[in-house]
Structure 1
Amino acid sequence: MTSTPTHTPTPGQTVGPFFHYALPYAGDRDLVAPGTGGAVFLHGTVRDGDGAPLQDALVEIWQADPHGRVPRRQGSLRRDGHTFTGFGRASTDRTGRYTFTTLAPGSVDGGLPFFAVTVFARGLLDRLFTRAYLPLEPGATDAVLTAAGERAETLVCVADDDGLRFDIRLQDHDGDAETVFLTYPGHPAR
C-alpha cells in the first residue's frame, strides 16, 4: 500500500537581511532627478519595536503623478530622466534612514493624495503595507484615516526643512506609536 504524502502549508521565510545585495538598482530612490522642478524629498527612519533604527530595511513607494494619474508604464525600474513610473525603492542606511526624490502625488478620484508604502525588514515573514499621506488640511480624512482612529497621525507625512518626513515604526512595546499597517484581500493579515 502506498501512502499519499501530506503537504502542510508552512510560513514564508523571513524577508531579510539580504536587501543590500539583491534588490538595489541604479536610481532606485530617485523617481525624478534631484533638482527637477516640483521635486520633493521624502525621507524618514525605520525603527523596530524598541525604537532602534533598522539599518537593513527596504522601503518601496508607489504613487500617482502630480495630476492624480497612476502611471501604467512597463519598466518600473526605468530611470531615463523623463519617464515617471511612480515606483521607487530605498534601502536604509546605518542610522535606519531612507530617502526618495520624487514628485508630490496628486489626488486620485478626489481622494487624499498619498504614497503607497511597503516595508521589508529583518525578521518579517511578509512585507508590510501602509500609506504616507501628504500633510493634511484641518478636518481632511478618508476611510483609511477614519479606521486608524487616534493612530491616524502615524500615516501622515510631516513637512520639515528637508521636505516630507515619514517615520516608520514596526512595533511599539510601550504605547501606540507603531505605524498603522494595512491588509489587502488575498494577503495574509499581520
Structure 2
Amino acid sequence: MVARNRLPPWHEELRLRNGRRVLVRPIRPEDADPLRAAFPLLQPEEVRQRFLHAMSELSPAMAERLTRPDPKGEFALVAAEPLPPGEALVGAVARAAINPGTRDAEFAILVSHYLTGMGLGRHLMRRLVRWAKGRRLERLYGDVLDHNHPMISLAESLDFKREASPDQPSLVRMVLQLRAPHPH
C-alpha cells in the first residue's frame, strides 16, 4: 500500500491560471497578523465591495474575530501562500455565517486584485456552497454592491438569484436556494 500525502479536511493546493500555487484552507488564528499586514495592499474599491463601506485598516479586534470563526455556525477559508499560517500572505478570504434561529447563511468573499480573474472566487464560492449543503441549510445569500458586476456575474453563474434590497437600493442580495424551506 502506498502512503499518500493527504491534506486535512478543507485543505487543497491549487495552481492558478497564472501558475501561482495557493493553499486553500480553513482560516487560522495565526492568520490575523498577515491579514492586518495585507489590508493596506487592498484597493479602496475592494474594501468597499467587501465591507460595504470605506475602511483604512483591519483592527486587531476585527482580525481576531475573522480568524476565530465559531465552528457551530461559521466557516471561513483562505487562499494563501503554501507556507505555515502566520507566515503565509493571504490573498483571499471566503466566509459563511448561519443567521441564528434560521436555516440561512450569509456569505462574503474578498479576493485581492492580485488574484482576481483566475477562478479563485468561483472555487471559494463552490466551497461555501458545499459547506452550506453539508449543514442542510435552506439558503446561502450575500449582499453585493449593485455595481460589483464581477461578483454578481459569478453568483448568477452558480445559480444564485437576485433579490432587491428594499432598505438599501445600492445593494443586491444574491440568493442560492439550497433546499425547500421547512414548514414552521
Q: TM-score range by the shorter chain?
A: 0.3 to 0.5
* Higher relative helix content: 2
**Structure number with higher relative contact order (C-alpha < 8 Å, ≥ 6 residues apart):** 1
TM-score, normalised to structure 2, is: 0.32
TM-score, normalised to structure 1, is: 0.32
